Amino acid sequence: MKALTLLALFALQATAAPQDEFPRAADGHPDFSGVWQTITTAHWNLEPHIAAPGGVPALGAQFAVAPGLGVVVGDRIPYKPEALAQRDTNFANRLTADPETNCYLGGVPRSTYMPYPLQIFQSSDIVSIAYQYATGLRRIDIGGTYEAPLDSWMGWSNAKWEGDTLVVEVTGFNGQTWLDRAGNYASAAAKVTERYTPLSPNHIQYEATIEDPSVYTEAWSIRMPLYRIVDDNYRLLEFKCEPFAEEKLYGHLRKPAE
């Protein structure tokens, strides 16, 4: 009887094995290809926060801030005093100053946890990520040692494998991106180190460490899972938001009604 049970267990394991393991690429590394999305309120605020009105009274409970336990390791971002003051100014001006309101590219790591899916395409030497938000795109060179020729919104990404973890170093930012809708920010000098690690067949542990001595007293990290979108026939649709921001950006330059 005991042998029979064992046998049954083996059989179960044998058939279930492919679903129990994170997919592997032809080169043996984890294959992160797929459509992923976070389930957090980190896009509202990386730090722990309670529910709050969204800032546009006319919208009522719609687009109000959903509560969240936060994704910062240790809860608080270690701002220098003057940088904390800047964050608070950003927060006060968030309805007009947040680059998201202008449909500007999300930057890294913010693009990861905005409330939109992303799709990863992995080959042996390049990982590219297409973000639905603002149709953003990143090229990540595995083993690359490229230096950013110029500052950019999405930064310049080089990666290496550490075991099953894809470690991506991102530099060359322009300092104009924010980290969330609460005004948290980094400067152009920021170095972001992302770590993508298989967690279960349909989950990636995503971690990003941000070093920026001009803004923080020490390096700090965020951590959250990416969830695989498993819907049949799912495909990434366009979120081309440029037209949505035109009234905000150029409305004051319209021809006045006669």
Partner 1 sequence: MSFAPVHNFRLTTLIASVMLASAAHAQQPRTAWGEPDLAGAYSEFTLAPLERPVELGTKEFFTAQEAREYQQRVLEEADQDDETVAGTQEDVHYDMGTFSLSANEGRTSENFRTSIITTPANGRIPPLTEAALTRQKARNAIRAGHEFDGPEMRSLSERCVVWTSTLPPILPGGYNSNLQIFQSPGYVVIQGEMGDPRIIPTDGKPLPDKLLPQWNGTSAGRWEGDTLVVQTAGFHPNAAWRNASEHMKVTERITRVDADTLEYQFQVEDPTTWAEPWGGVYPLTDLDGILFEYACTEGNYGMANILSGQRALEREAAAKVQP
Q: Which residues bind partner 1 (CB under 8 A)?
A: 25-27, 31, 33, 102-105, 119-124, 126, 128, 130, 135, 137, 139, 146, 149-150, 152-154, 176, 233, 235-238, 240, 242-243, 245-246, 249-251, 253-255
| Alpha-carbon torsion (136, 96, 91, 150), positive or negative | positive
DSSP structural state of residue 235? -
Question: 33 or 187: whose CB is closer to partner 1?
Answer: 33
Residue whose CB is less far from partner 1, 97 or 130: 130
Give the nearest distance from C-beta 162 to partner 1 in angstroms: 20
Structure tokens at 248: 């905000």
Structure tokens at 216: 């923080």
Nearer to partner 1, 219 or 249 (CB): 249
Residue 44 CB, shortest distance to partner 1, in Å, is 23
Tally of CB atoms within 10 A around 2: 6
Q: Using an 8 Å Cβ cutoff, are 223 and 206 in contact?
A: yes
- Nearer to partner 1 among residue 82 and residue 238 (C-beta): 238
In the complex, least distance from residue 23 CB atom to partner 1, rounded to whole angstroms: 9
Q: C-beta of 154: minimal distance to partner 1 in Å?
A: 6
* Cα–Cα nearest to 24, from 190, 166, 232, 213: 166
Angle at 230 between CA 227 and CA 232, to 5 degrees: 160
